[in-house]
Each structure stands twice: as C-alpha cells, then as structure tokens.
Amino acid sequence: MTTEFLGLRLAHPIVNASGTFDAIAARRAFGDALLARFPFAAFVSKTVTLEPRQGNPPPRLWELAGGMINSIGLPNKGLAGYLEHDLPQLAELPVPLIVNVMGFSREQVAELVRAFGERDEVAALELNVSCPNVKTGMVMGADPGETAALLDAVRPLTAKPLIVKLTPNCSSPGDVAAAAAEHGADAVSLVNTLRGMAFHPRRLGVPWLGGGTGGVSGPAVRAVALAQVAEVRARVAIPIVGMGGLQSGRHAQDLMQAGADVVAVGTESFRDPLAGRRVATELCEIRANSGIVRLPGADGREPIAHNA
C-alpha cells in the first residue's frame, strides 16, 4: 500500500502526530527491534523551537473519558541542542524524517526553516502554527492573513516541502488552509488539539493543569477532525495529513474518505506504541476487502514493508 506524499515514497499512509511518539526513547527501550518494526511510514518530530524550553508547569495531563487534555508546552532542547543530539539519532530511523518547528515570530520560524532546510537528513518541515499551549504560536495559524505572511517569509528559504499544521481553534480552518496553499504550502495537517480545561477534583474552582488550559485529543475529537478535514479538502487541492482521535484502520479510512491523503496516529500511540503498524495493517485489509488495493500478504498482516 505504498503512498506517494510530497515526493516521498511511503510504505503505507500512516505517520505519527508530532509529539506523540518519542522515537529516541523507544529506540533506547527496544533497541534495533524498533527499526525493524517501525510503526510509521514517516516520522514527525516533536516541535523544535529556536531556544530550549522547559515546557509548562505540572500537572500537564488530564485523562478524559474520550481521550486526554495535555498542557505540555513544547519542552525541547532548542535548535542547537536538537541538531547536536536528536537529529543524528532520528536520521537513523528507517523512514523519512519530518521536522516540526514553531517560532514566536516570523523571524524565528524563518531561522528554523533555514537551518533545517540545509540538512539532508530532513525530508520535509511541518510548521506548527497551532499549539494551544503557548502564547503566540497559534496566532499565526488562526488568521489567514498571518498564515499567508508567514508562508511569504519562509517559502523562499527552502525547497523542502512545507506542511502547515492547522488549528481547529479558529473560525475557519478552510480559510487558513486556502491561504497556506495559495502562499506556497505543499501540504496541510489537521487537526491539532482543541483547547480545553479541567478543574482540580478536590479543590473547587482551581484549574488542574499547570498551564490553566490545554489541548484535547483522542477519540473525543474524531468527529471534529472528520468535519474539518472535509471542510479543508473542499478548499484546497494540496495533500492533507488527517489526524484526530483515530484508533483503527476504519478510522483512518474514514479520514481518507473525508479528504486526507495520509493520516497520523496521535494519542492512541500512548496506549499502544505499535498502534501505527496495527492501523496500517487494518487499513490495508479494509482496502483489500473493498477492492481498493490488493493485500500485500496472504492474511494482510505481513508484510507491510518499510522504507529501508
């Protein structure tokens, strides 16, 4: 079930949502077995900012009946730390690397795009203009004019594909997607998390999350994701990476029928680190049974090959 995406030949259409699978920690835990059975057809990194960040104060997570709220706040080593420590390790993964970046100004995003644009290890960049857990990151992604201005600033800086990660927390994701496409984005990804909050279970009126509010993800947002992917597909012709609460091949198929070309597994990977591989296999079975593609193996479970 190979998939062409931004000039990359992916073994299947399942990638990870940024920040939901720590490939470096997983490699430490599982060794090279992880590389042999890597769950995703491309790896999207956790967001990198120009300077190192500690992230938001704890608590950072709240479990919901249908998922969770995170208020992580983009902790990361910063550009220099990432280039020195993380990039060499992520370059060893058996799949293309997509680096997710976020800046607090256009100039910061430009610096990140310029730096990663020069690196052969990086196949594409995802611009995170949609994090609900930091102050200015989302402004660029909530307004079509701001998104257009950001693309105008960074598009000339690299020939690498640029994916714009859209926020669901705006009045019209379709308008923002159209602005991104018109100003040079190669793809859009959606949905990032929906802003939400929870109160402390024992202290009335006190927010639970250290950051006050956070981003809701998991099955609770799946219907929203489907509607927004369909809305964006009606507005743009560029590829869409669809995500939001998917847990199975059927959910992936639904997102693709709504208009996604590639789909990302997010929160489900916290429950099942191999969810990406399972979803790919289930999707393959669904498509084979509906005559969309032929099964790669007798029972469809093996082999889903990965890029070497």
Under rule CB under 6 A, residue 131 binds ligand SIN: yes
Nearer Cβ to ligand SIN, position 133 or 158? 133
* Cα separation, 31 vs 14, whole angstroms: 22
Query: Closest by alpha carbon to 282, among 268, 299, 262, 257?
Result: 299
Under rule CB under 6 A, residue 128 binds ligand SIN: yes
Nearer Cβ to ligand SIN, position 1 or 263? 263
Under rule CB under 6 A, residue 74 binds ligand SIN: yes
Q: Which of 16, 192, 253, 281 binds ligand SIN (CB under 6 A)?
A: 192
Q: Which of 16, 20, 133, 269 binds ligand SIN (CB under 6 A)?
A: 133
* Cα separation, 183 vs 146, whole angstroms: 11
- DSSP string across 288-302: HHTTSS--SSSSSSS
How many Å from the N-terminal Cα to the C-terminal Cα in the chain? Answer: 15
- Closest approach, Cβ 19 to ligand SIN, in A, equals 5
Q: Which of 20, 45, 189, 193 binds ligand SIN (CB under 6 A)?
A: 193
Query: Closest by alpha carbon to 175, among 149, 195, 147, 139?
Result: 147
Strands 67-70 and 61-64: antiparallel
* Cα separation, 109 vs 127, whole angstroms: 8
Under rule CB under 6 A, residue 73 binds ligand SIN: yes
Nearer Cβ to ligand SIN, position 132 or 259? 132
Under rule CB under 6 A, residue 221 binds ligand SIN: no
131 has catalytic annotation: yes
- Closest approach, Cβ 209 to ligand SIN, in A, equals 11
Contact (CB, 8 A) for 143 and 172:
no
- Closest approach, Cβ 184 to ligand SIN, in A, equals 22
**x/- letters, 240..269, toward ligand SIN (CB under 6 A):** ------------------------------
- 99 bridge partner residues: 125
Which class for 280: exposed (0-12), middle (13-18), buried (19 or more C-beta within 10 A)?
A: buried
Where b means 16+ CB within 10 Å and e means fewer, 153-177 reads bbeebbebbbbbbbbbbbeebbbbb
Under rule CB under 6 A, residue 141 binds ligand SIN: no
Q: Which entry of 131, 150, 177, 265 is annotated as an active-site residue? A: 131
Under rule CB under 6 A, residue 167 binds ligand SIN: no
Under rule CB under 6 A, residue 72 binds ligand SIN: yes
- DSSP string across 231-279: HHHTT--S-EEEESS--SHHHHHHHHHHT-SEEEE-THHHH-TTHHHHH
- Closest approach, Cβ 301 to ligand SIN, in A, equals 32
Nearer Cβ to ligand SIN, position 162 or 286? 162
Contact residues for 118 (Cβ-Cβ < 8 A; gap 6+): none
Return the range that interacts with ligand SIN (CB under 6 A); candidates 33-41, 126-134, 230-238, 261-269.
126-134
Give the interface with ligand SIN as residue ranges (CB under 6 A).
19, 47, 70, 72-74, 128, 131-133, 192-193, 215
Residues belonging to the active site? 131
